Amino acid sequence: MAYSMQPAFTPVQARQTLQKPNPSQNQAQPSAQKTSWGQNVRDWVQRAFAEENAIHGIPETEWREYLLTFLPKLQAAGQLDTIDWSTYPTPQELIVAERQQAAYAQSVPNTNMNGYSPFSLSIDGSKKRKSGDLEVPDREPVTPPWKKNKRGLEDRITSKSKTQEKKQKKAKAFQDDLAHHQSNDALERRRQRFGHVSPVSSPMRSRDDTPSTENPTGPVVGTCQRLEKNYFRLTSAPKPEEVRPVPVLEEMFTLLRKKWKTEHKYSYACDQFKSLRQDLTVQHVKTDFTVRVYEAHARIALEIGDLEKRMESVAHALQVRAALASGNFVKFFRLFQATPYLGAYLLDMIVPRERLAALSTICRSYKPDISLDFVVNSLAFHGEDDDSDAAYRNCIQFICDHGGEHLIERKDDGRVRLLTGKAGNTFETAKKAAFRTVDIKGQK
């Protein structure tokens, strides 16, 4: 599970505009085109035409198309005068930056960083990013090839029709942008908290920090020689000078275990283990050493554990055991319904046979019959979404499955009864069979 092929950081979009894009802007485009541009803007466009600024792989037609949507939008947003056009990246550079951004989004369909659950693809997350990618979400004059790719990938992941997707996108565009805004602020604060210098205010510049020459998802080769390192959840590609190579990590691992033994500080150990694991992941180290690091971390986590949570579960488990030992099925099924965390799945395994055991007891002791309500409630039969009819149906199904169909009788007044007096050994036999298949000591 630790070996996901995803990079171990969460790509964070730099905000492109200060205001949320307004769909109405697009309608103003034709008239905007007629307006005359300022000299600084024209100089900037001139630079784009200069030969030394040409970028291989981006034909003139493409970036000119880009300009046609880019400039009117800035104008509509009233940003033309706020930009220092003499240093602003050329359209070609902007496209390159966007491609990288798109490549990130494509290769990182979910935002988990430790690779804990590569299977839990966060569909919403990837969409949010996408709406951020596209400056004008609703109107794409040309779909560049990488965007086509991206859509293809998403289709494969989400298996949603395009119309469906578009609908959702529209509905979410506004919300997403808000969320984006907030999360960016929060991220910024978080970065500062961790002593990271806030990236230069120009969003374009921060993009230039990302290594553009190599595949951003490829392994990093660490150069950091420090042993200890506080854990920081990556929000951009890892920097080699902050990543420790394996020999350093091994040394740190040894030190960490020594420290754990002598000092027993869980928060420190946990922090260091996390940074250890992160450095391993970003360097794509998948050796025995990796396994040992993960195992060791898991073990100290177990040792110290989330003690409170465990105590709660343990207390519950002990109560369940006591209820089972004394044959107190009323208590057992109540506990079953109040099981914390995932314990219910464990109990699910024994619930059928405990129901049979309880039915045996009930049929032997209640005479001449008993209302089905009582059985449904005492044995915790339930349907989906508290559908009480479904609970009934499940209960009757269960009784029939174990040869008790002749014991269910609807009385004249409409009440359904279980004829316990006529049950004989019906459930006793079924119970014995059930306990035989799951042979657990002490449950004879």
Partner 1 sequence: MDAIFEDFAAAYAVESGYGLAATISPVPPKHDPARFYSLHRSANAFSVQTELRSKLQYSPIVQLDKQEATAWLEVFVAFHKLTGVLLSAEEAENAGRETEARWGQVYEVWKEVVNALVKGYQSGAFYAWTIPCLYVAGKYLRIFAIKADDSAAAQKGNGFAYGGIQEEDAFGTGGKNEKLEDAARQINRIFGLCVSDRAPLEDSRKWALYYVTNLLFKTYFRLNSISLSKTILRSLAATSSDMPTLELFPKSHQVTYKYYLGVINFLEEDYARAEEELETAYGMCHVGQSKNRQLILTYLIPTKMITKHQLPSRGLLQAHPALSALFTPICTAVRTGNIKALDDALAIGEAEFVKRRVYLTLERSRDVTIRNLFRKVFIAGGFMPLKEGETTPMRRTRIPISEFATAMSIAGAEVSDGEGGIDSDEIECAIANMIYKGFMKGYIAREHGMVVLSKVGAFPNTGV
Q: Strand, coil or helix: what is 80?
A: coil
User: Which DSSP state fits 418?
Assistant: E
Q: Which is nearer to partner 1, 46 or 443 (CB)?
A: 443
* Residue choice 20, 299, 309, 410 for contact with partner 1 (CB under 8 A): 299
Site string for partner 1, 196-235 (x = CB under 8 A): ----------------------------------------
Q: Which residues contact 153 (CB under 8 A, 6 or more apart)?
A: 106, 109
For residue 77 the two structure tokens come to: 């947003």
Q: Which residues contact 363 (CB under 8 A, 6 or more apart)?
A: 418, 420, 423, 426, 427
Largest CA distance in the chain: 99
How far apart CA 223 and CA 236 sit, in angstroms, is 17
Closest contact distance (angstroms) between CB of 213 and partner 1 is 40
Piece of the chain touching partner 1 by CB under 8 A; list 106-114, 226-234, 256-264, 394-402 = 256-264
Piece of the chain touching partner 1 by CB under 8 A; list 40-48, 177-185, 229-237, 299-307 = 299-307
Site string for partner 1, 26-55 (x = CB under 8 A): ------------------------------
How far apart CA 175 and CA 47 sit, in angstroms, is 37
Q: Which residues contact 120 (CB under 8 A, 6 or more apart)?
A: 110, 112
Residue with tokens 């050796």: 287
Pick from 420, 426, 443, 314: which is nearest to 363 by CA? 420
Q: Which is nearer to partner 1, 104 or 329 (CB)?
A: 329
Closest contact distance (angstroms) between CB of 352 and partner 1 is 19
| Position 247 contacts partner 1 (CB under 8 A) | no
Piece of the chain touching partner 1 by CB under 8 A; list 42-50, 341-349, 365-373, 379-387 = 365-373
Contact present, 161 and 150 (Cβ < 8 Å): no
Q: Which is nearer to partner 1, 131 or 360 (CB)?
A: 360
For residue 76 the two structure tokens come to: 């509509």
- Where in 258-297 is the site for partner 1 (CB under 8 A)? 258, 260-261, 296
User: Using CB atoms within 10 A of its CB, is residue 408 exposed (0-12), middle (13-18) or buried (19+)?
Assistant: middle
Site string for partner 1, 334-363 (x = CB under 8 A): --------------------------xxx-
| Position 419 contacts partner 1 (CB under 8 A) | no
Helix (H) or strand (E) holding 370: strand 370-371
Measure the CA angle with vertex 29, ends 27 and 33; round to 5°: 160
Q: Which is nearer to partner 1, 300 or 320 (CB)?
A: 300
| Position 300 contacts partner 1 (CB under 8 A) | yes
Piece of the chain touching partner 1 by CB under 8 A; list 34-42, 49-57, 147-155, 370-378 = 370-378
Q: Residue 383: what are its φ and ψ, rounded to 5°?
A: -110, 180
Q: Which is nearer to partner 1, 169 or 364 (CB)?
A: 364
| Position 378 contacts partner 1 (CB under 8 A) | yes
| Position 315 contacts partner 1 (CB under 8 A) | no
Piece of the chain touching partner 1 by CB under 8 A; list 75-83, 93-101, 266-274, 325-333 = 325-333
| Position 370 contacts partner 1 (CB under 8 A) | yes
DSSP 29-78: HHHHHHSPPPHHHHHHHHHHHSGGG--TT--HHHHHHHHHHHHHHHHHTT
For residue 38 the two structure tokens come to: 């300022």
Q: Which is nearer to partner 1, 74 or 430 (CB)?
A: 430
Closest contact distance (angstroms) between CB of 407 and partner 1 is 16
Q: Which is nearer to partner 1, 298 or 400 (CB)?
A: 298
Closest contact distance (angstroms) between CB of 366 and partner 1 is 5
Contact present, 31 and 256 (Cβ < 8 Å): no
* Residue choice 57, 78, 327, 424 for contact with partner 1 (CB under 8 A): 327
Q: Which is nearer to partner 1, 13 or 378 (CB)?
A: 378
| Position 156 contacts partner 1 (CB under 8 A) | no
Contact present, 260 and 242 (Cβ < 8 Å): no
Which positions lie near partner 1, rule CB under 8 A? 254, 257-258, 260-261, 296, 299-300, 303, 325-331, 360-362, 364-367, 370-371, 374, 378, 441-442, 444
